[in-house]
Each structure stands twice: as structure tokens, then as C-alpha cells.
Amino acid sequence: MSKQRGKGCGSLFRRGDGGPWIASWFDHAGRRRERSTKTTDKRTAETILREWTRAAALRVAGVVTADADLLADAERRPLSEHVAAYLEHCRLDGLAATHLAQKRSHLHCLLAEAGIGRLSELTADVLRRHLAKVTGPIRREDGTVRPALSARSYNFIRGTLVAFMSWAVKEGRTPAHSLERVARRDVDADRRRIRRALSVDEAERLLAVAREHGREAWYACALLAGLRKGDMVRLSWRDVDFKRSILTVVGGKHGGADPVPMHPKLVEILLRHRGETRPMPASRVFPVPVHDERRVADFTAAGIAIVDELGHVADLHSLRATCCTWLARAGVPVQIAKLVMRHRQAETTEKHYTKLGLLDATGAVAMLPVLGSGSAEQAATGTAGATAGTTAGVADRARDPIGRNPLSTLARPAGLEPTTLRSVV
């Protein structure tokens, strides 16, 4: 006996003995649809078929819109499928590999720890409980307690999950989300690792120690070009333009390719590092990166305290902060320093990488005009009541706010012309 559609209610059939029931019906566009009910119980299959034909009827009548249908379909899909789609979107959008790996780690941790399976189940309360679990103190099997993660780590995990749900809303996978209600933590009140800038003497000693072991170029790239560790690991010789004194950072934190002007001393060091071997353009500048244990040994040999009396830390990233601090002391506008540091916001450059202190403030105050001397000219120039030596010292600081910095006065290698910031930004 042939199957019949039966007044728009659809029909059920099997393709084999004992297999699941297959539903057949016409959708809202008049197309015949066939779909497995994934059950061998006919009563259950009939209930499923009625729901599918009912949904098609509601679409025809305009009660259910296409958008609502898409939302319902997205809600039926497992949360892991949406996470995979979001990560693929981030990859195609050019997100840096390191940042992408961090997002993947936090989202997969959510899937494993939160015990939820649908988008609608990811609420503000679920996020709060998840953050409390993964960032709070954790007792290990050996009885020790892992301290709570910093506010910065807390905010990063929160931001990752908020960004995921915001993407889901934009893509029409869910109508809205409530994760923005979860408050951020105050990073300034919970600074676990405060880096400091190196002095000129410390930088010179570090380069001298590193030169003996062939690691001078590694530290110079961070110190004089503000490169991150990942930037240096990826740097190849084709990214270094000696003729124009420019190196190009490819695939950095924010993706893309960013040109960075090279200090004459850095050009000299990289030329010496390249030596007479003439490597292939695709060859890495640093085939073997300098790892933390070796870096600590180099800093110690150079007499650089890893942690100073204030608890501030000196590490590889401190060299990047040193570069930014020297730019500030030289009077470089923060907007230009932001371009050199490759930050998206000038606030990051000022707040986290410019390490000015009391000595800088003292030098600035010394350049204020001296009032009450009776000489307008002396008051205007700030030389009234000062000895010749004092005046010369203030003038020297004004010309070279970095202080005694022989790196800024080294001779440029022959045949190399200076590159201004304007030519590369």
C-alpha cells in the first residue's frame, strides 16, 4: 500500500526492518522534506512529525518568521558547535595564533566545567559561578593551595565569554545575552606583576654580557624596537630592511604587518648578528629563542635585579617598557609612541608602558622659571639664581631627557640613512 501525505499531516515510513521511522512532509516553501525521527517507537515518531508539520504551518501563516526559525534551529544545536564556529570566525578574521589559543582554552574550559549544552543556558549567573571556580583559590591534590588569578586574568576570561555571546547575537544565533551584567574587577587594585624600566647603565651592561654569548641582537630588538617575544620568534631576515632602516612585524598581537623604524645601534647589531653567512630571506633571525632561564642568567650577570626593593620586576617584556619610557623621556608625543609600540590605544602606552618616576619629575620641576629674581629674561629661561653648572645640567636634561644615553649618539653605519617616524606610519 503506497504512502499518502494525508491532508498536510505528512507520513511515516521505514527504509529497513527495525530501523528508525522517517518523516516525510512539505515545508513552508512547498518543498518535500524527509528527515529521520531517530526513534523506532511509532507513537513518538508521530508526535515529532506533528511538531514539524505544525512549524511549517506556522511559517506559512506568518506566525513564525524566518528569524525565529533560525533562532530555534540555533538553540537546538549543541553549545560546542557554536564555540567551534566562533573560533573559526576569529581565525578567518586574522586573530593572532596566541590569542586564538587562549580563547580556545577558556571556551573549552567553560564547556567542560559549567555543565551546560545550549546557548540559552549561558547566563550571567552561570558565568559568575564559572569565573569563581576557575579563577578562585584551588586546593591541589598535594594539599597546597593555588592562589586566585589576578583581576587582569579574571577580566580576560570574562571578556572572552562576553565576546563569544556578542558574536552569537550578531550572527542571529541568540536574541540577546546577559553576560555584560557580570562586573569587571579593578586591575589597578590587584597588580600582581609590576614591571620596571631599565636604566641606561643596566641596558649597556646587559648588551655587553649578551654580546659575549651571541645574544645581543635578541635583547636589542626588545630594547630599541619594542618587539615582543613572539615578534622576535617570528622575525625573518626578509622582514629586516637595512637600506631603509625598517623592520616589519608580521603576525603580531593584533595581526597584520607593522613597520617599525630601527635605531642606528640596532641596525649595527643586526648586521653583526647576520655576519658573513648571508642567510636565506625566509630564515629566522633567531632560530633558537632565548628562554627564561638563560635570560635570568644574563640579567644576573649584568647586575640587574630581577625584583627590586619596591617589588618591581625586570624581565624580557621590561625591555619593551624601557623602550617606551625612553621615548617619553625624549619628549616623543604619546600618539607617536603608540605607533612605535603598536598599541591600539594611547591609554595602554601611557598607563602600562611608560615608567616615569621621581627623578623624571625632579628634572621637570627644575626647568620651571625662577620667580622673584627681578629679571624677566632670567625668569623666562629658568636660569635666575642658578649657578653655571646647575644651568648647564638643566639644559642638558632638556636636550637629552633620557640622561646619559650613549646609544642615542652612536655613529650610524656607513650607507644607511635615518628613517623618520613619518616615513613609516
Between 83 and 424, the more confident residue is 83
The CATH number of the domain covering residues in 200-358+414-423: 1.10.443.10
Three-state DSSP class for residue 11: strand
pLDDT of residue 291: 92
pLDDT of residue 88: 94
Between 174 and 417, the more confident residue is 174
Contacts 24+ apart (CB under 8 A), 114-122: 116/79, 117/78, 117/79, 117/80, 118/75, 118/78, 118/79, 119/74, 119/75, 119/79, 119/82, 119/165, 119/168, 119/173, 119/174, 120/75, 120/174, 121/79, 122/79, 122/161, 122/165, 122/177, 122/179
Q: Let me know if the fold of 79-190 is the same as that of 200-358+414-423.
A: no
Report whether 339 contacts 421 (CB < 8 A): yes
The distance from CA 107 to its chain's CA centroid, rounded to whole angstroms, is 16
Whether 237 shows a pLDDT value over 90: the answer reads yes
Q: Quick: pLDDT tens for 319-328.
A: 988 998 898 8
Whole-structure pTM value: 0.57
> How is residue 308 written as a grid cell?
627590586
The domain locations on the chain are 11-64, 79-190, 200-358+414-423
- The verdict on domain 79-190 having CATH code 1.10.150 is yes
> Under 8 Å CB-to-CB from 283, ≥6 apart: which residues?
236, 237
> How is residue 314 written as a grid cell?
625586570
**Which helix (H) or strand (E) element contains residue 357?**
none
Three-state DSSP class for residue 351: helix
Whether 102 shows a pLDDT value over 90: the answer reads yes
Q: Quick: pLDDT tens for 51-89.
A: 888 877 777 776 655 566 677 778 888 999 999 999 999
The mean per-residue pLDDT over the stretch 133-145 comes to: 79
Between 310 and 209, the more confident residue is 209
Give Dmax (Cα) for the chain.
118
